């Protein structure tokens, strides 16, 4: 049995989805097809991953009805602005080969030009009102970014997708999301950001954590499965990335065991308070060099 989350507008989202960040385009369709065959019904992509076309192809190859798959994608910062973001929707749906998205979110705030973030979000509100998207949200928003957004817009985001794994479990963001009725969605939910090759050699991989190994051994599950179960039991959505068929299947095999309150607390206690990914308050100019191609 899988787990669904009901978003703040009543839309139902499968809590566990396949992530495709850094999935090479040539491997993405196969990964999506494998995931849908083993039971996933939620795929998370982004314009900036440059693999939306292959995600659409994988979904079509699965033979499932469009309405059986929850498709989430993100608008990149170079497409922020009212008209730009409306056009970004056309680019995304054109590449995915669908008319409607289940969830469209802003990839990250642009703190130094927040008015463009607001304009982009207002375009999402228009798309929602017009029935082009079923839910809208944000990503990499801190509680302060959320406050700024909520002060200037009408619709409370359904989802806030942030870096979240046992070494950086974001209690402040989770609390703010909960207060506003926003579902927290974990990116790098099994801590890939702590061990991606080439992302800083001194990182400590959460995958090697002895506490997670010990908890996993007690349930005959891997550290990745323990982490995913932890997200699900704490009410979050999680979108683990894999292009490997066995690991795609392993990451979905998390509905037949239960962590105790004590085990959840032991995992919560692993938080270091230090992120591995980029600080959403620091705007890196190179992010504005990335232009999203037309469909």
Active site (catalytic) residues: 49
- Per CB under 6 A, does 159 bind ligand A2P? no
The Cα 77–Cα 283 span in angstroms is: 11
Angle at CA of residue 68, ends 63 and 73, nearest 5°: 100
| 250 scored as a contact of ligand A2P (CB under 6 A) | yes
E-strand spans in the chain?
4-6, 12-14, 18-19, 42-44, 70-75, 103-106, 136-139, 159-163, 183-187, 237-238
Angle at 278 between CA 152 and CA 44, to 5 degrees: 75
Enter the tokens of residue 15: 């809590």
- Rounded to an integer, what distance in angstroms lies between the CA atom of residue 56 and that of residue 197? 27
**From the CB of 30, what's the least distance to ligand A2P, in Å?**
12
Per-residue contact string for residues 214-233; x = within reach of ligand A2P by CB under 6 A: --------x-x---------
Which residue is at the shortest CB distance from ligand A2P? Answer: 192
Binding mask 10-49 for ligand A2P (x = CB under 6 A): ---------x------------------------------
Residue 275 backbone dihedrals phi, psi, to 5 degrees: -80, 155
Q: Write the binding mask 198 to 217 for ligand A2P: x where contact by CB under 6 A, - elsewhere.
A: ---------x----------
Choosing from 93, 184, 188, 276, the residue that interacts with ligand A2P (CB under 6 A) is 188
Interface ranges with ligand A2P (CB under 6 A)? 19, 188-193, 207, 222, 224, 240-244, 247, 250-251
């Amino acid at each position: 049995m899988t787990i669904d989350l009901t978003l703040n507008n009543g839309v139902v989202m499968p809590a566990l989805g396949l992530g495709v960040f850094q999935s090479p385009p040539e491997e993405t369709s196969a990964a999506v097809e494998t995931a849908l065959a083993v039971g996933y019904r939620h795929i998370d992509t982004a314009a900036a991953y440059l693999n939306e076309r292959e995600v659409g192809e994988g979904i079509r190859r699965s033979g499932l009805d469009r309405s059986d798959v929850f498709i989430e994608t993100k608008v990149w910062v170079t497409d922020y602005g009212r008209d730009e973001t409306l056009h970004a929707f056309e680019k995304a749906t054109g590449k995915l080969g669908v008319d409607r998205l289940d969830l469209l979110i802003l990839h990250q705030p642009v703190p130094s030009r927040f008015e463009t973030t607001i304009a982009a979000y207002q375009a999402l509100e228009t798309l929602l009102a017009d029935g082009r998207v079923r839910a809208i949200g944000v990503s990499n928003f801190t509680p302060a970014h959320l406050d700024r957004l909520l002060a200037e817009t009408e619709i409370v985001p359904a989802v806030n997708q942030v870096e979240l794994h046992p070494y950086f479990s974001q209690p402040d963001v989770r609390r703010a999301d909960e207060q506003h009725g926003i579902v927290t969605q974990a990116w790098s939910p099994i801590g890939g950001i702590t061990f991606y090759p080439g992302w800083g050699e001194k990182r400590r991989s959460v995958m090697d954590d002895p506490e997670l190994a010990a908890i996993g051994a007690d349930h005959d599950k891997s550290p990745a499965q323990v982490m995913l179960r932890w997200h699900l039991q704490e009410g979050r959505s999680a979108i683990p990335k894999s292009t490997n068929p066995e690991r795609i299947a392993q990451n979905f095999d998390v509905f037949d065991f239960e962590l105790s309150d004590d085990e959840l607390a032991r995992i919560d206690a692993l938080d270091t308070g230090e992120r591995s990914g980029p600080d959403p308050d620091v705007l890196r100019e190179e992010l504005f060099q990335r232009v999203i191609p037309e469909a």
